[in-house]
Amino acid sequence: MAPNGVNGSSGSHRFDPDFTRLVVENMGPNVAPRTRQLLGGLIRHIHDFAREVELTNDEWMAGVHFINSIGQCSTSIRNEAHRVSDILGLESLVDEIAHKLVVEGDVEPTSSSILGPFWSPNAPFRDLGSSIIQDPNPKGRVALMHGTITDLLTGKPIPGAVFDIWQASANGKYDFQDPENQTPNNLRGKFRADENGKYWFYCYHPTAYSLPTDGPAYKLLQLMERHPMRPAHIHIMVTHPDYRGCTTQLYPKDDPWLATDTVFAVKNDLVVDFKPKEGDPKATLDLEYNVILPPKDYKGKL
């Protein structure tokens, strides 16, 4: 296959060199510049892909049927296009594009990761030291999670930062997905850090789970000989009005799916170590995780 030329639309293939330009330039004069850039880039990459692989009519039609099947499987509580873009790595890439920060010093801010489809804007504030476990699952292993939220530049704590956590239960399901076993806001909660920037509460050691295996996203995974598993993870979103917030996920270091996460959302600084805990009747595990936020106006090197 010939490499793409500059702008991706020339190159050494044997096809009409003007066709892609003709399609892009068919856009009218009043198209917004960003729309023109986005759709022009999309058309160029779709065409370059088709020429590079010499896409056949049957393959194109298989793609057409696949695209139709995505929407036909989606409902108000199932977003299959979101899942398909996740397993192709697109949501993780968009997250990187949005949050990439090249710092000047040695300390890095906590890495971001994808929001995913299960965050809720309605999670309740809970008291420091309380539990997010409303509906205990017999297989759940309780952990005391705690840490300090600090400023990237000064290293000082950030009192009043809000630590929002959500996680699946020990059956691998979130409250939305499991109304028989879970009440709304089970395993969700917001905590406000104390005057020392510290937070602490009880939650579960997370449980790995599979993406749904009855739709187009799973068909695509099968075509690629990939499993549908997400490594066990805890979602967190840490915010403060004076800082750039961080939405991310934390992964136990011994999870077998870390290297092959089906949505490619694992980063090294997000892998954590649950330790045995003694002397606490409420928990058998301890997890310390410290979060580092850049000030709101910090731009880094770029």
Restricted to residues 219-248, the positions that interact with a second copy (CB under 8 A) are 220, 223-226
Check residue 164 for interaction with a second copy (CB under 8 A).
no
Q: Nearest approach, Cβ of 251 to a second copy (angstroms)?
A: 16
Q: Which is nearer to a second copy, 63 or 124 (CB)?
A: 63
From the list 3-11, 129-137, 196-204, 288-296, the region that binds a second copy by CB under 8 A is: 3-11
Residues 43-62 that bind a second copy (CB under 8 A): 43, 45-57, 59-61
Q: Nearest approach, Cβ of 117 to a second copy (angstroms)?
A: 10
Given a contact cutoff of 8 angstroms between Cβ atoms, the answer to whether 154 and 293 are in contact is: no
188: its two tokens: 């969700």
Beta bridge partners of 210: 229
CA distance 198 to 150: 9
Give the number of residues written for the chain.
302
Beta bridge partners of 131: 202
**In the stretch 59-98, what mask flags binding to a second copy with x, by CB under 8 A?**
xxx-xxx-xxxxxxxx----xxxx-xx--xxxxxxxxxxx
Q: Which is nearer to a second copy, 25 or 180 (CB)?
A: 25
| Distance linking the first and last C-alpha atoms of the chain | 35
Q: Which is nearer to a second copy, 110 or 186 (CB)?
A: 110
Phi, psi dihedral angles at 46 (to 5 degrees) = -60, -45
Q: Nearest approach, Cβ of 261 to a second copy (angstroms)?
A: 9
Among 7, 130, 181, 210, binds a second copy (CB under 8 A): 7
> Which residues lie below 8 Å from residue 167, measured CB to CB, with a gap of 6+?
132, 174, 187, 203, 204, 206, 233, 234, 235
Q: Which is nearer to a second copy, 157 or 216 (CB)?
A: 216
Task: Give the H/E segment covering residue 97.
Answer: helix 90-99
